[in-house]
Amino acid sequence: FEAIRPGLRRIYSEGRRQMRAAGRRSSVLEMHEWRKSAKQLRYAAEALTPAGEGNGAKRMRRLARQAERLGETLGEEHDLAMLAATVRRSKRLFKGEQKSRKALLKSIEMTDKGAIRMELGFPPVAGKTFYLVPSLDSEKHVIWKCYAGDVSPRYLPPRCRN
């Protein structure tokens, strides 16, 4: 393991560098590079996982699972960004349906913020949506912000009507 430690450390350090770059610039390209680093780490951890159930094997399997989850999450972010870019530049695809196009872009934007999309199922707002977005207050407690989506504010929960 000592012989391969520097290579694994290099892969991990590169991933950390890509994470910081993505945090500073938050571009699709930076996120994609971070995802590639996460995948490299996953593959390296899987390849280096020794057989058996010892501590080293458990640590490497856990590292591989965590890198896989990170890669999947970053992949979903990339897919959303590409979808949003396609919708923005393809106005002709939505000819006569600009309201639907704007609603789709709003949904993508809210999903990108970590929002929970709430679709209402009761008349008169059946099929309409609003969004709940989590954030942290100064004491690190989760607070929820509401965004109306395509629902009239009078049908939203009282705390969302401001």
Render pLDDT for 70-88 as a digit per residue (tens, 0 to 9): 998 888 878 877 888 888 8
Q: What is the pLDDT of residues 89-145, one digit of tens each?
A: 877 777 778 777 777 777 777 776 667 777 777 778 788 877 777 777 788 777 777
Can you state the angle between helices 55-89 and 98-112, rounded to 10 degrees? 160
**pLDDT bracket for residue 42 (50, 70, 90):** very high
Query: Tokens standing for 14?
Result: 């590169």
Q: How far apart are CA 20 and CA 37, in angstroms?
A: 12
Q: Where are the alpha helices (DSSP H) in the chain?
A: 5-25, 28-48, 55-89, 98-112
Those residues with Cβ within 8 angstroms of residue 125's Cβ, 6 or more apart along the chain or in another chain: 151, 152, 155
Q: What is the pLDDT of residues 14-37, one digit of tens each?
A: 999 998 888 787 677 888 889 999
Q: What is the pTM of this model?
A: 0.61
Q: Which long-range contacts does 67-71 make (Cβ < 8 Å, 24+ apart)?
A: 67/38, 67/39, 67/41, 67/42, 68/38, 68/42, 70/35, 70/38, 71/35, 71/38, 71/39, 71/42
Residue 38 has pLDDT above 90, yes or no: yes
Q: How far apart are CA 106 and CA 125, in angstroms?
A: 18
Residue 66 has pLDDT above 90, yes or no: yes
Query: Tokens standing for 81?
Result: 């960004």
